Amino acid sequence: MPLKYRRVLLKISGEMLAGDQEYGIQPSVLDQLASEIADVMTLNVEVAIVIGGGNIFRGLAASASGMERASADYMGMLATMLNALALQNALEKCAIPTRVLSAIEMRQLSEGYIRRRAIRHLEKKRVVIFAAGTGNPYFTTDTAAALRAMEIGADVIMKGTKVDGIYDADPVTTPTAKRFTELPFLSVLNKSLKVMDATAITLCMDNDLPIIVFNLTSPGNVRKILEGEPIGTIVSKNACINE
């Protein structure tokens, strides 16, 4: 079957790794995620990953509690490195070659981020995990995902969540919430929908890079998206507002 996307960037929140725990990494979630990625690597696709650190430390929350914002954000970047190394280990247990590339130099743990090096790893069918966000405070891992996706020439950003798309309200607290099958970027911004932060959405809109928001906890969804099945919600420049 021909694939719709050949080079993708998968954005995973740190909270996903916590599973049903309040914080930390739940090994069963990590193993399920690694298995999902290993499965799609058999399709001969190129996969890059940006992972958050909210299951360990949230810079914005610490800043709101009185910590200096830049210091708090740097601590959050270190949390993403912990998650990146954990995911790398889980993938390599599945015999998937990986490389962690960090925006902050940590030579004993990872390679430093260089765009051409990242692309070369992808061409060699290695899973590339981008750690430490953009390397700058005041920017989220959502923005890092948008930036890295454009730098490597990804076909799409796949935002893995615990729900099956974008809703007009929180489906957990509002059972009557309606799910969108597609949305234009401007509607996401105007409606203040919690998809990715405004900087990331604007970057994707300006560079015509689509975003697919989907349920990553449902086995097989990544493969289905790559094969063109209508999973989740797609955000793109010329999309219509469909429910």
DSSP 46-66: EEEEEE--TTT--HHHHHHTT
Q: What is the mean pLDDT of residues 104-126?
A: 97
Instruction: Convert the pLDDT of each residue in 90-101 to its tens digit.
Output: 999 999 999 999
1 found inside a domain: no
Q: What is the mean pLDDT of residues 116-123?
A: 98
153 found inside a domain: yes
- Select from 239, 237, 216 the least CA-distant residue to 40: 216
Q: Supply the pTM of this predicted model.
A: 0.94
Which pLDDT belongs to residue 242? 58
Instruction: Convert the pLDDT of each residue in 170-216 to its tens digit.
Output: 888 888 888 999 999 999 999 888 889 999 999 999 999 999 999 99
- Report the amino acid identity of residue 235: V
| Pairwise CA distance, residues 87 & 98, whole Å | 9
Strands 211-215 and 233-236: antiparallel
Q: How many CB atoms lie within 10 A of CB 50?
A: 28
Domain boundaries, position 26: 7-236
- Select from 174, 165, 5, 29 the least CA-distant residue to 87: 29
- Select from 44, 30, 124 the least CA-distant residue to 85: 30
2 found inside a domain: no
Tokens describing residue 108? 């004993």
Q: Which residues contact 89 (CB under 8 A, 6 or more apart)?
A: none
Residue 230 pairs with which residues in a beta bridge? none
243 found inside a domain: no
Decide: 119 and 173 in contact? Cβ < 8 Å.
no
| Mean predicted lDDT score pLDDT of the chain | 93
| Pairwise CA distance, residues 39 & 209, whole Å | 25
CATH code of the domain containing 205: 3.40.1160.10
- Select from 137, 150, 115, 141 the least CA-distant residue to 50: 141
Number of domains in the chain: 1
**φ, ψ at 209 (rounded to 5°):** -110, 110
Query: To which residue do tokens 């049903």 refer?
Result: 20
Q: In this structure, is the dihedral angle defined by the CA atoms of residues 227, 233, 34 and 8, taken in order, positive or negative? A: positive
Q: What is the mean pLDDT of residues 222-239?
A: 93
Q: How much of the chain, in percent, has pLDDT values that exceed 70?
A: 98
53 found inside a domain: yes
Tell whether the model's pLDDT for residue 243 goes beyond 70: no
Tell whether the model's pLDDT for residue 168 goes beyond 90: no
| Pairwise CA distance, residues 175 & 107, whole Å | 48
Q: How much of the chain, in percent, has pLDDT values that exceed 90?
A: 81
157 found inside a domain: yes
186 found inside a domain: yes
Tell whether the model's pLDDT for residue 225 goes beyond 90: yes
